[in-house]
Amino acid sequence: MENKPENSNRRAFLGLFLIVVGALWIFERLELIPSFWNDILISWQMLLIGIGIFSIIGGNKTTGTVLIVIGGFFLVPEVAHIPYELRRIGWPVLIIGIGVAILVTHSGRRNRNHPPQFDPVNNKALDYFDDFVIFGGREEYISSQNFVGGKTTSIFGGTEYDLRQANLSANGAVIDSMALFGGCGFKVPPDWTVKNEVTAIFGAFTDKRGSSLNQIVTDPSKTLVVKGFVAFGGIEIKYL
């Protein structure tokens, strides 16, 4: 289940990303960056673009591409004059750009080893999920008896999954989470072993099962790995 080289690469890229951000901040404080570029480089738009690049490097191409599209869209007026006629259609263009980014990066991305999310003919339980939420919320109840994991992305929104009636696959499960100005919550059985591989910047990963139960006795054979990236948000594990 573990992929140590991939985790090491993510940490290395995160370290490089933080070094670049810190260096730019120092240059800005020392007034070594021209004011024009200072307003561009030290901006929330560039923060989104930077997080997007980091997300793509970390393997979350859909989220990273969407963040780059959003950051780039709002950065354009800072570097160029946009005629009024074009500014009037700005939001529709942004929505189209996000849609294209999702389609392009999602096409053919699904691993063949992952089962379909839901079979309406056979009423099959959800063994694997792949959700993307922006400016909204989603709640899912999962009762799969062979749960293998999933991927969830929350941008200015939240997702919550109730896994208390689910059973893990023989190899456990892996959930890849991305929370930007949002959160992801997972309700899991008390005996699951939850392994944290989340990278957090101005965010947090918390396991609150201890506050819901008097004691937790976990089973190493039932392991859920939660990995991903959190910025200005949180990922929470709980029982109630």
CB 151 within 8 A of CB 128: no
pLDDT at 58: 66
Residue 8: pLDDT band with limits 50, 70, 90: low
**Residue 113, pLDDT score:** 45
Confidence of residue 59 (pLDDT cuts 50, 70, 90): low
Q: How many other C-beta atoms lie within 10 A of the C-beta of residue 72?
A: 16
CB-CB neighbours of 183 under 10 Å: 20
- Greatest Cα-to-Cα distance within the chain, rounded to the nearest angstrom: 65
- Say which residue, 199 or 9, is predicted with more confidence: 199
| Mean pLDDT to the nearest integer, 178-186 | 87
Mean pLDDT of 144-156: 89
Burial class (CB in 10 A: 0-12, 13-18, 19+), 60: buried
Distance, in Å, from the CA atom of 58 to the CA atom of 233, rounded to the nearest integer, reads 18
- Average of per-residue pLDDT across 187-195: 90
State the chain's mean pLDDT as an integer: 78
Answer left, alpha or beta for residue 135, where phi above 0 means left and psi between -120 and 50 means alpha: left
Work out the average pLDDT over 187-200: 88
- For range 9-17, the mean pLDDT: 69
Residue 2: its pLDDT value, please? Answer: 46
**What is the model's pTM?**
0.60
Chain segment 72-119, per-residue pLDDT in tens: 888 888 778 888 778 788 888 888 887 787 777 765 454 444 444 444
